[in-house]
């Protein structure tokens, strides 16, 4: 399935829906009544400039706002559970298993002192029990899934021995080891060159298709978002100003800020030239 072949929902299902406001100590309204939803098998792009609240939204979903001393009001419903009401123990069981995160800087996210095999084993053992061979098979299978076929050799290396593109694929492999229902990709291509960026975007699209995994793709890069996302949500200064199908956002933007973002692009993505796309049915 290409990005243009939008998956169908089953009975109007929603994987995640939220309506939240977030305050930081000394700074109110970092997010103001942001309403959003993601369907099973959907890639939603969240676009906004630095400081718009994109990463705050991902921290809220992951239950990590407490690390910043922030407070949230409202609800985040994920698979019929309100994440804002869960204990930290319950959230730890959920993070990495049902909701996973890919960050923008792989060499910062990976431990430089540990071999790749050790780090992936720790990620597996955090949410699974079983013989070491089962763990190894799962890791090697996942490395192949992210186009790192020389898994045996890779497991013996440390992050500093990998290219940035390889390290980013290792991060993605770690995130999908347990086949999460939702993957949050926070600026996952910003540290990559153009060729590697294109490869990683195709990888996200393939994982979405093969695993039926929903992805919240967070970026300031509207072109990258357009190439992979079914829908786009535009965040400005803590407010969600517009959302809709990718084609509609590009061809018929309603908000002045969205029009500014599109006008700043060097060219309209060629993938958006054909507007004949099926509707995505949401609840």
238-264: pLDDT as tens digits: 999 999 999 999 999 999 999 999 988
Are residues 36 and 75 located together in one domain of the fold? yes
Q: Write out the residue range of the structural domain in which residue 268 sits.
A: 16-98+184-272
DSSP collapsed to 3 states, the chain: CCCCCCCCCCCCCCCEEEEEEEEECCEEEEEEEEEEEECCCCEEEEECCCCCCHHHHHHHHHCCHHHHCCEEEEEEEECCEEHHHCCHHHHHHHECCCEEEECCCHHHHCCCCCCHHHHHHHHHHCCCCCCHHHHHHHHHHHHHHCCCCCHHHHCCCCHHHCCHHHHHHHHHHHHHCCCCCEEEEECCCCCCCHHHHHHHHHHHHHHHHHHCCEEEEEECCHHHHHHHCCEEEEEECCEEEEEEEHHHHHHCCCCHHHHHHHHCCCCCCHHHCCCCCCCCCCC
2 inside domain: no
Round to whole Å and give the CA distance between 194 and 275. Answer: 26
Is the Cβ–Cβ distance between 58 and 20 less than 8 Å? no
Based on its alpha-carbon atoms, the radius of gyration of the chain, rounded to whole angstroms, reads: 19
Q: Report pLDDT for 272.
A: 59
Instruction: Report the distance separating Cα 146 and Cα 272, nearest Å.
Output: 27
Around Cβ 89, how many Cβ atoms within 10 Å? 8
Stretch 92-117: mean pLDDT: 93
**Beta bridge pairs of residue 231:** 44, 245
Judge if 131 and 159 occupy the same domain: yes
Instruction: Examine residue 257 and state whether it is found in any structural domain, yes or no.
Output: yes
Q: Does 29 fall in a domain?
A: yes
pLDDT digits (tens, 9 = 90+) for 161-218: 999 999 999 999 999 999 999 999 999 988 788 899 999 999 999 999 999 999 999 9
Check whether residue 21 and residue 83 sit in a common domain. Answer: yes
Same domain membership, residue 116 and residue 249: no
Q: Which residues contact 207 (CB under 8 A, 6 or more apart)?
A: 145, 146, 172, 176, 183, 213, 215
Share of the chain above pLDDT 70, in %: 90
Among the candidates 177, 209, 227, a domain finishes at: 177
Residue 30 · residue 238 · CB < 8 Å: yes
Residue finishing a domain among 177, 199, 219: 177
Is there a single domain that holds both residue 72 and residue 93?
yes
Structural domains of the chain, count: 2
CATH number of the domain to which 230 belongs: 3.40.50.300
- Residue 129 and residue 57 share a domain: no
In a domain, 1, yes or no: no
Instruction: Tell me the C-alpha to C-alpha distance, in Å, between residue 148 and each of 9, 54, 166.
Output: 31, 30, 8
Instruction: Look at residue 271 and tell me whether its pLDDT is greater than 70.
Output: no
Considering the domain architecture, whether residues 198 and 233 belong to the same structural domain is answered as yes
On whether residue 282 sits in a domain, the answer given is no
Judgement on whether residues 34 and 89 belong to the same structural domain of the protein = yes
Q: Which of 111, 185, 173 is nearest to 143 (CA)?
A: 173
CA-CA distance, 77 to 37, in Å (whole number)?
9
Residues 268 and 188 in one domain: yes
Task: Classify residue 103: in a domain, yes or no.
Answer: no
Task: Give the pLDDT band of residue 8 (cuts 50, 70, 90).
Answer: very low
The answer to whether residues 215 and 79 belong to one domain is yes
Residue 88, in any domain of the structure = yes
Do the domain assignments include residue 71?
yes
* Judgement on whether residues 196 and 71 belong to the same structural domain of the protein: yes
pLDDT class for 94, splitting at 50, 70, 90? very high
The answer on 241 and 202 residing in a single domain is yes
Q: How far apart are CA 127 and CA 103, in angstroms?
A: 20
For residue 78, pLDDT over 80 is answered with yes
């Amino acid at each position: 399935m290409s990005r243009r072949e939008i998956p169908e929902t089953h009975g109007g299902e929603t994987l995640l829906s939220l309506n939240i406001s977030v305050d930081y100590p000394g700074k109110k309204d970092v997010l103001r009544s942001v309403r959003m939803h993601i369907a099973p098998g959907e890639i939603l792009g969240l676009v906004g400039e630095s400081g718009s609240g994109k990463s705050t939204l991902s921290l809220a979903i992951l239950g990590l706002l407490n690390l910043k001393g922030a407070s949230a009001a409202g609800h985040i419903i994920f698979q019929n559970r309100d994440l804002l009401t869960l204990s930290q123990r319950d959230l730890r069981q959920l993070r990495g298993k049902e909701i996973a995160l890919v960050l923008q800087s792989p060499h910062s996210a990976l431990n430089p002192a540990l071999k790749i095999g050790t780090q992936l084993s720790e990620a597996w053992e955090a949410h699974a029990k079983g013989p070491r061979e089962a763990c190894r098979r799962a890791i090697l299978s996942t490395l192949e899934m992210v186009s790192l076929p020389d898994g045996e050799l890779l497991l013996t290396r440390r992050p500093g021995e990998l290219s940035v593109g390889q390290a980013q694929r290792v991060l993605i492999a770690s995130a999908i080891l347990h086949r999460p229902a939702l993957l949050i990709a926070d600026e996952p291509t910003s540290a990559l060159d153009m060729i590697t960026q294109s490869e990683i975007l195709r990888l996200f699209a393939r994982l979405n298709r093969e695993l039926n995994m929903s992805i919240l793709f967070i970026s300031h890069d509207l072109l990258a978002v357009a190439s992979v996302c079914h829908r786009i949500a535009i965040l400005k200064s803590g407010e969600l100003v517009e959302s809709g199908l990718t084609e509609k956002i590009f061809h018929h933007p309603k908000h002045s800020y969205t029009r500014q973002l599109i006008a700043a692009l060097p060219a309209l993505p060629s993938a958006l030239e054909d507007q004949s796309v099926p509707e995505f049915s949401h609840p």
